[in-house]
């Protein structure tokens, strides 16, 4: 089941620069997308989300972009900080159909170098 894919297992970015994490999905019924951040030995922590009626959502240093025609979303972090080093998961859900489960990507390990 590869409905949500994060093709980059890891990403290394210099502190202060922009981090861009990518996610692709195949299920056109998905209408709600979320990004979670995970530190070792902790549960996923919600970062930011976007519904399919929007193409951009911004919260502080975090912006999520959604391209429905390409079935692609991305998370931009700017400026990147050392505390941003973690694994980032993209997740999707089909809210309109009443589906409750989140379908996760494999995660991208982000390392911010000082």
> How far is the C-alpha of 4 from the C-alpha of 39, rounded, in Å?
21
| Shortest spacing between CB 94 and another protein, in angstroms | 11
Q: Is 95 in the site for another protein (CB under 8 A)?
A: yes
Report the C-alpha gap between 16 and 9 in whole angstroms: 21
Stretch that binds another protein, among 18-26, 59-67, 77-85, 102-110 (CB under 8 A): 102-110
Residue 69 binds another protein (CB under 8 A): no
Q: Residue 3 or residue 79: which is nearer to another protein going by CB?
A: 3
40 touches another protein by CB under 8 A:
no
Residue 106, helix vs strand vs coil: coil
Q: What are the CA-CA distances from residue 17 to residues 23, 47, 68 (Å)?
A: 20, 19, 27
Our finding on whether 42 is near another protein (CB under 8 A) is yes
User: C-beta of 25: minimal distance to another protein in Å?
Assistant: 13
Min dist. Cβ of residue 15 to another protein (A): 27
Verify binding: residue 29, another protein, rule CB under 8 A. Answer: no
Contact with another protein (CB under 8 A): which of 11, 29, 78, 99? 99
Angle at 19 between CA 13 and CA 20, to 5 degrees: 130
Core vs surface per residue 43-55: b (16+ CB within 10 A) or e: ebeebbbbebeee
């Amino acid at each position: 089941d590869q409905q949500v894919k994060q093709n980059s297992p890891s990403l290394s970015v210099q502190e202060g620069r922009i981090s861009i994490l990518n996610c692709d999905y195949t299920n056109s019924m998905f209408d709600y997308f979320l990004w979670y951040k995970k530190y070792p030995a902790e549960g996923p922590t919600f970062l930011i989300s976007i519904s399919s009626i929007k193409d951009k959502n911004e919260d502080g240093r975090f912006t999520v972009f959604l391209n429905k025609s390409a079935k692609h979303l991305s998370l931009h972090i700017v400026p990147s900080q050392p505390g941003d080093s973690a694994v980032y998961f993209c997740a999707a859900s089909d809210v309109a159909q009443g589906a409750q489960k989140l379908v996760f990507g494999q995660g991208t390990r982000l390392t911010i170098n000082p």
